Structure 1
Amino acid sequence: MRNITTLNIYPVKSCQAQTLKEFNVLLEGPEGDRQWMVVDDDSEFLTQRKYPKLATIQVNWSDAGLSLGVGKQFFVVPRENKFLRKISATIWGSTVEVALEPDLVSQAVSQFLGISCRLVRSGPFTVRDPMVRFPDSLPVLLLNTKSLEDLNSRLEIPVGIDRFRGNIIFEGEAGYEEDTWNRIRIGEVTFSKPKKAGRCSIVTIDQKSGEARGPEPLKTLAGYRREGKQVNFGVLWVPENNGRVRAGDTVNVLS
């Protein structure tokens, strides 16, 4: 039936996932997903690739705003704040306008990571092409549990699907069937313009402890999922419309 098993957002890029029973999908991605990111003193974005401890920063996004657990410190950032100072930041070579969150939060993140950095948020003033906030490329990442089962059958130590930081996780009928689809519908939303998701060293990081666990599963994936310079797992999609997606919904393959 290809039912949706899990829905995740990542309110702060490279930080903890927040699992939901349902979410709104906007043209730029799931509502609340990757609305914030951490940047260094040069306003360059930071990720788990270099700072794996980001994975352990606790997040909860709600109508009240963003709750952050940074080590033993906890903060609440309002959902909207018109008075934040705007700066320019860089993400994957693109310069975007962002808003600086209060110094107190940034100081806590800096102390936790051991590097001077700042928490910034996106807004209507943040323009990227394609229309996204702070994901690496396209708005929505779809993962298939059957594909993970195939990968784990090749590993000495199985990994969880959380290593791959997907938004929509479904139980497929066959591993990697998602690679062949061109257009799908889930709940109220139609998705198109698929792009296979190239994987990096983040998949080697334990998402609970924030520790790198050696070369796997990237090493094994590279042995059978490499296409050119890219090692693929999962598929990125672009929403065609706004709508609601719920756990239990079915992935309907349109073409």
Structure 2
Amino acid sequence: MELKETVLKAFEQNRKAVLYTIGAGVALLGLGLGYKYIRKPKKLTQVGVVSQLILHPLKSGKGLQVATAECLRMGLKYGELRDRHWLVTTEDGQMVTGRQEPRLVLLTMTAEGGDLCLNAPDMEELRVPLGQPHNNIMNCRVFSADIQGRDCGDEVSRWLTRYLAAGKTFRMVHYEPEMKPRMSVKIESPFPADEEVAYPDTAAVMLLSEASVKDLSSRLDKDVTVSRFRPNIVVTDCEAFCEDSWDELQIGSVRIKRVMACGRCIFTTVDPETGIINRKEPLDTLKSYRQCDPSQKNIYKTAPLFGQYYIVKQTGILHVGEPVYKIREILTGVFSADIQGRDCGDEVSLWLTRYLAAGKTFRMVHYEPEMKPRKRVKVESPFPAKLVAYPGGAAVMLLSEASVKDLSSRLDKDVTVSRFRPNIVVTDCEAFCEDSWDELQIGSVRIKRTMACGRCIFTTVDPETGIMTRKEPLDTLKSYRQCDPSQKSIYKTAPLFGQYYIVKQTGILHVGEPVYKISY
């Protein structure tokens, strides 16, 4: 179910459900379980339109323009062909690209009827089976990284060697799904640790705008085309270099996230129409006005920036003509600390605003795993330098039923556990025993106490009615649950009720499990 539908359904049930749903959501995020969802936001900022989708099945080979393509974690796929999943090598497995053999850019690879079809100027078409499971697996080197590939056979080798006519033997290999990929982070440090590629230079997807190419052409004696820069997604209806600021995009059901710019090399000086390398333009012109910020010299060095590398956050189908939306992220403040959140959309905002009826507009945001979290130590100094999303202070708050019963015995009206919004509720113990439980084992989970939970006016909100009294049970708690004077710098006048824990060992929790205090 989409996030918006989940939220709205929970809200529509009753006011009590609203409070429990929001509290449970924060608790889950604090525990790091997260909420996995697939959604198409209703309101985004359109920044362009997809004008071309281009696969390069053979690394350095001619681009194949398609009207639709699957966008997978490791790049675009069209039928049996996947982007940069074939590679030309020397006999000992060293990669060969257009930098060394410029005429590779004229070599076309297609698939038809279970055959792999190779075409090049002045060469007869060669057809070989797409799958050749009995051929040898070769160990290859792509930019100093080891990777394997299935040899495409002697017939392909002879054809390539004859076409390139470089006085040496060439082979072709195919990357298969069960082979070990290259890790993008080992190629360029800005990439996440789990991003994988086959034979691309660095990333699964490269995006470029037509306007950026037009801007470059205006500075040259001869126009250049998009094909020279070998992108996968080409965008129109935008200004030049707008893509530099598109941190996250939605195209149909596909969501991609920008990691870094594409630093350009001598390969840009190969003419895709002739296969001739001039070793000067347009690279020299790019270097004159597309250098990185000095603070990024350790990443890009002297390479000019043109186009942007993206990772795929949500797979799906891409179509030429689809609008490209920039996804808006909201920077919000949680207890004076900045943190991001994915906006849940205008429909949720309208619903919330109407429900709360406070004369102002409200929005809802969702914390996602790749966003920068808050540091607990900046929320409360006793915490180690651990991380949280939107909780008040900690990943886990624990409270005993006996402590709530003790409090109720001092009030005119009983209160329930739900008023205090814990994550773990413990029974079969004395009131306030949790104050001394420094480290606990519950099944495979191990948690460590950091500090007490200092209570505020939120405890005076009745979870059954949503009405705030601003007095009880807070006043009664203040009368007998104050901190030790030595801790006034931490808790000030807040009464203590419940305990904050950090998670030392993750696992699955079950109602009914025994809670063990760990003693050292």
1:62 Cα deviation from its structure 2 partner: 5.0
The aligned residue for residue 89 of structure 1 is 140
Compute the RMSD of aligned alpha carbons.
Answer: 1.5
- 2:157 matches 1:106: yes
The answer on whether the counterparts of 2:209 and 2:238 sit within 8 Å (CA) in structure 1 is: no
Unaligned 5+ segments in structure 1 are none
1:93-242 superposed matches below 5 A: 93-113=144-164, 114=166, 115-124=168-177, 125-130=179-184, 131-227=196-292, 228=297, 229=301, 230-242=303-315
1:73 Cα deviation from its structure 2 partner: 2.3
How many pairs does the alignment contain?
Answer: 255
Of residues 1, 5, 11, the one that matches 2:57 is: 11
* Residue-by-residue CA offset, 1:147-180 (whole Å, 9 max, x unaligned): 1111111112111111101111011421111111
1:51 Cα deviation from its structure 2 partner: 0.6
The aligned residue for residue 60 of structure 1 is 110
The answer on whether the counterparts of 1:15 and 1:56 sit within 8 Å (CA) in structure 2 is: yes
2:108 is matched by which residue type in structure 1?
Q
**What TM-score, normalized to structure 1?**
0.95
Cα distance between partner residues in 2 of 1:120 and 1:92: 16
The answer on whether the counterparts of 1:85 and 1:100 sit within 8 Å (CA) in structure 2 is: yes
Larger % of helix: which? 2
1:202 Cα deviation from its structure 2 partner: 1.3
**What TM-score, normalized to structure 2?**
0.48
Larger % of strand: which? 1
Q: Matched residue of 1:222: which SS?
A: helix
Cα distance between partner residues in 2 of 1:244 and 1:79: 23
Cα distance between partner residues in 2 of 1:173 and 1:253: 12
Q: 1:63 to 1:254 in 2, by over 3 A?
A: farther
Q: Matched residue of 2:96: which SS?
A: coil
Q: 1:35 to 1:62 in 2, by over 3 A?
A: farther
Which region of structure 1 is more displaced relative to structure 2, 106-115 or 24-33? 106-115
Cα distance between partner residues in 2 of 1:133 and 1:123: 9
Consecutive aligned runs of 4 or more in structure 1 exceeding 3 Å deviation: none
Of structures 1 and 2, the larger Rg is shown by 2
1:97 Cα deviation from its structure 2 partner: 1.5
The answer on whether the counterparts of 1:98 and 1:126 sit within 8 Å (CA) in structure 2 is: no
Q: Which has the higher contact order (CA 8 A, sep 6+)?
A: 1
1:4 Cα deviation from its structure 2 partner: 0.7
1:251 Cα deviation from its structure 2 partner: 1.2
The answer on whether the counterparts of 2:132 and 2:152 sit within 8 Å (CA) in structure 1 is: no
Q: 1:251 to 1:62 in 2, by over 3 A?
A: farther
Q: Matched residue of 1:142: which SS?
A: strand
The answer on whether the counterparts of 2:246 and 2:258 sit within 8 Å (CA) in structure 1 is: no
Unaligned 5+ segments in structure 2 are 1-46, 185-195, 329-520
Q: 1:188 to 1:225 in 2, by over 3 A?
A: same
